A and B are shown apart, each in its own frame.
Chain A
Amino acid sequence: MAPPSEERAYSPPRGRLGRARVAVVTVIDEEFDEVRDVLGTHNDIGSSPYFVSEAPDSGDWDVVVSKCTDRTNLPSGEEVGHIIEDLRPQVLLLVGIAGGMCDNGRPRENIHLGDVVIANTVAYVDFLKIDGATMFWRQYPVDHPSVHLGRTISFPIQKTFRIADAITKQPPAAHNSRIHIGQIVSAEKVMGGLNNPVQTELLKPFDKALAVDMESIGMARGVCARRTSFWYNPLYSVIRGISDLVGVEGNDATRAQWKVYAAHAAAVVTREFIRRLPTTDANA
């Protein structure tokens, strides 16, 4: 038995299937396909929803890509729980598309279709409980995106990564994608679609948010809820390509046109994000 004063170190913990350094969570098919192509994760870990670039039976993977069973925050939170149980990734990334926030029809901070937003905080419309005409503030325990990753990776990427050079897909209209860092607000489908008046009303208090999605708070709750062991300290970030502008007429058609490109742009930023993470792989 070791004396109390002796120092010791353990490797990062393993999940039921093994261990991954990074887990990338996607939601819709286009997101999953773009991420898988850009990261080269084409091998399915048998009897699981996870895709890797290494041998499926390795048990120790660098990057694992998965897809939620459905959109919205509940499935994304559940997916995060499953990934953590199975693989104990050190970093989780929620990657895909989002709607750009507008004020009176004008995109905030000149955000443009095809740009990429990396979240520095996440907010949630469901923090507002409606009772008749009154709104009440409610809170759930959540983790925000890692400040450490924000400082050491997101910020440098924004300043130095030439995203336009890395993108290999043609945008639907001429545009050089840029990277923004800001708040992403999660809407909730249970309250109606993003064009629903109730939803529009609920989004009003979040006047600084750059983008809106339906899964970020699932990641935020999932990571917070699963940070329950002395031995495990997961970090996460959210990377979203802008596929449409919220509240602008015809945004369903715009999304249909831009979602593949927006997902591709987000995947490209994700690849760079992962490249800058520390790794134990000597060949990396």
Chain B
Amino acid sequence: MQRTPEHQLEILRSAANGVIASLAFADPPFELEIGWASDYDRMFRGDLDITSEGEVLARALRQGRVVLVGRGGGGKTQLLFRLMRASAERGVLPVLIDLKDWRQSDYADWDAIVSKDIAYGSAFLIERFARPQTTAIDLDWVPPTASKVLIVDGLNEIASSVGSQVLRSLDEFVRDQILTSVIVADRLVRRELPALSRWALGLVLPLSASLIARYAGNRLSGQTSVAPLDLPFFLNAAIHQEDVSVSGARTHERYLISHANLTEQDLNSAAIAAFQAYLNKSRSFSIEQFRIIAGEHVTNRLQNSGVIILTESGEAHFSHHLLHDYLASRHMARQNQDFWTSDNLNVISLDQSSFDPLALVFEQLGQEKADDFLRRLYDWNLYAAGYALSSVSSDAVPCSAEMRIVIFAMLAEKRFDLVEATRQRANDALLLIRLAGSQPFKDAMSFQQVLRSVAAVNSQAAWFTRWQALFTRPSDQNLTDEDIQTLLADDSVIGWTMANVARRMALTEEQLEMLRNALHNAPPTQRWRIVHLLGAFPSTSNFDTLLQSLDHDSDGSVRYGAARSLAELACRGDAQLRGRIVQAIKNRVDDLRAQPKVRDEIARALVVTSDAAPAGWSDTVTDIGRTFFQRAEAPESRDYWRRYIADAEIRYQGPALAGAH
């Protein structure tokens, strides 16, 4: 180390000032308000302590960690730019970590690094993404009296599971490094933050009508209540184009037409290329590949207008991820249902990391297609359907009122699930939806109240009244053979509803046998429904069948569903069946380590609500957890299972310190 600490600090400060000078600050700056909450529950409920954005840096320096969540286009990146500048002005050394530069190859590097220890990840993040360019060890070499802040953007641009690891790694880094803090921008989603009380949790609030009026003056008079003007990205576009649309997608379209001088046909070509670019599961892409698909003049216009930016490494990315999302969503919206497969939904959402593109698809559809799209989303990920509904305002909902009720009701039913994580996720999704008619489903204190809310809906739509009758069907009715066929229907909403309704009813052994046999020939989605249903009926036959699906089904979703149902059978069954299930899972610990999604689902599904847990449930959960613990290698993984076991003991036995050393 040739430099003195003071010299090192001077060099980094100078470089940081250079970075700040290069940032593209928006004009006007759209200063934001932040709603602070002590946990995600309060945040989703809107129980917020509102401050100006000036509070962000103060909280970061005081508490060490801030996570700022908000919708795409909510102004997070510009806020981070301003925080870079404010930090430097305050004498705090700012370092920008921009994860938008994350490439496909970074996933493998990341996995290799954090498999040793999650704490290793921060050194990789700094060396790979930091601006000014630096390393973790160089940052430490500044005098111990110097404050530093890492400002992290683009967490929502990378796979969700990696995003959570990044947060854990940053948490470790600011714990270790003297006078170091971190501010992270994230999407509007609940994360398992390490030591939540050590994080300040801020919601980037939409612009108020008065702020919109202040920034837009009389240019948008009469339109200040129009969504999505409360999001800075769209307000900025509206101010500069003097053009506004009730739809985010329409605003993007107009922007690209006027700014990049593209025709409708050009947009369609660019849309195909933008969708294909997401096959890499990254916002970065090869400009040459894009050019081959979109064509020379379209690519040139996008580049020349600054919509597509080339980095020094030769990779390309869009100037704002929403423009990329829009183009990819435009392609998906133009296709028919056959294109809306699980695979393609995974592509456009970057493996379920970002639901923004799905919301944009939803916006662009007419009512009939919008209903169909929600059905497809429902089949793929119910919470994505909820997110799509949460992204539109009451005066611009593409789908039918009936379809909304279906999604509200399906989410509300899950609020009373026996698995804690399912309840929590359903609650979160519902709380984000601001549409008229959602409130009774958010407020329902029991599933009976949900049923009453569904029954109270008046509709002339034949499909809806059929669904309504099905959803509210009394549980003392018998299941008919026709119902079994309904369960296997192509219509995902009807099929899943039938599966859920059947779970509330008494099925004969013959009917269960029929369903078990149907697993041999049914397509994956139907198999998933069947294994979901079998979880509600504890029996040796169902156990054997679910185990068979867990071991041998070719489809990941079915194995995932079977894992959940096995946990449910253990909870609902007698001690003997529970013992067999525990032993079966323990026997498969090594196999399950190779299927982390399925393994994690078993772990999650075992955490049932306290009132649903049978006597001795703590032993069941800890026995399985202990086996995973014993076979885990990495310290991080062993710690995870230690914590899992301790949490289960506290949840089902209460904190007991008797016998402690």
Contact = CB atoms under 8 A, between A and B. Distances in A.
Interface of A: 1-4, 6, 8, 10, 13-14, 16, 27-29, 70-74, 78, 81-82, 84-85, 88, 96-99, 126, 129-131, 138, 140, 188-191, 193-194, 212-215, 225-226, 228-232, 243, 252, 255
7 contacts: A1-B6, A10-B145, A14-B178, A70-B650, A71-B657, A74-B646, A82-B198
Nearest to A255: B659
A130 B630 contact: yes
B660 A28 contact: yes
A226 B175 contact: yes
A238 to B, nearest CB: 12
Given A74-B646, A129-B630, A27 B175 contact: no
Nearest to A126: B638
Given A16-B62, A72-B642, A74-B642, A228 B661 contact: no
Contacts of B2: 4
B144 A229 contact: yes
Contact of A229 (B4, B178, B631): B178
Interface string B438-451: 00000000000000
A220 B26 CA distance: 49
A252 B144 contact: no
A2 B172 CA distance: 32
Nearest to A27: B660
B10 interface: yes
Given A16-B63, A85-B175, A190 B660 contact: no
B645 A190 contact: yes
A212 B659 CA distance: 13
A104 B590 CA distance: 38
A70 B646 contact: yes
A111 to B, nearest CB: 14
B626 interface: yes
Contacts of B631: 131
B655 interface: yes
A225 B143 contact: no
A13 B147 CA distance: 12
Contacts of A97: 661
Contacts of B140: 228-231
A81 to B, nearest CB: 5
Interface string B160-200: 00000000000010111111000000000000000100100
B204 interface: no
Contact of A252 (B3, B657, B659): B659
B49 to A, nearest CB: 15
* Shortest 6 CB-CB contacts between residues of A and residues of B: A231-B144, A228-B176, A13-B144, A71-B660, A213-B661, A85-B175
A139 to B, nearest CB: 10
Contacts of A193: 659
A225 B642 contact: no
A226 B7 contact: no
Contacts of B635: 140
B591 to A, nearest CB: 15
Contact of A226 (B4, B64, B176, B179): B176
A142 B639 CA distance: 15
Nearest to B136: A228
Nearest to A225: B119
A94 B141 CA distance: 30
Contacts of A191: 626
Nearest to B64: A16
Nearest to B661: A213
Interface of B: 2-4, 6-7, 10, 62-64, 119, 140-141, 143-145, 172, 174-179, 195, 198, 625-626, 629-631, 633, 635, 638-639, 641-643, 645-646, 650, 655, 657, 659-661
Nearest to B194: A78
Contact of B4 (A4, A131, A190, A230): A4
B620 to A, nearest CB: 15
Nearest to B629: A190
A71, A97, A130: most-surrounded residue (chain B CB, <10 A) = A71
Contacts of B6: 1-2
Contact of A243 (B62, B638, B661): B661
B7 A4 contact: yes
B590 to A, nearest CB: 10
Given A3-B4, A70-B650, A131-B630, 16 more contacts: A1-B7, A2-B4, A10-B144, A28-B657, A28-B660, A82-B195, A82-B198, A85-B64, A99-B661, A140-B635, A190-B642, A194-B659, A214-B660, A225-B119, A231-B144, A255-B661
Given A2-B6, A78-B195, A10 B143 contact: yes
Nearest to A72: B646
B630 A229 contact: no
A243 B6 CA distance: 52
B643 A74 contact: yes
Nearest to A214: B661
A14 B119 contact: no
Nearest to A240: B661
A248 to B, nearest CB: 14
Contacts of A255: 659, 661
Nearest to B178: A13
A72, A97, A98: most-surrounded residue (chain B CB, <10 A) = A72
Contacts of A131: 630-631
A67 B157 CA distance: 40
A29 B655 CA distance: 13
Contacts of B175: 81-82, 84-85, 226
B361 to A, nearest CB: 43
Contacts of B629: 190
A71 B176 contact: no
Given A4-B2, A98-B661, A232 B62 contact: no
B368 to A, nearest CB: 54
Nearest to A4: B4
B238 to A, nearest CB: 42
Contact of B661 (A6, A10, A212): A212
Contacts of A194: 659, 661
A47 to B, nearest CB: 10
A11 B655 CA distance: 41
Contact of A1 (B10, B143, B657): B10
Nearest to B657: A28
A212 B141 CA distance: 39
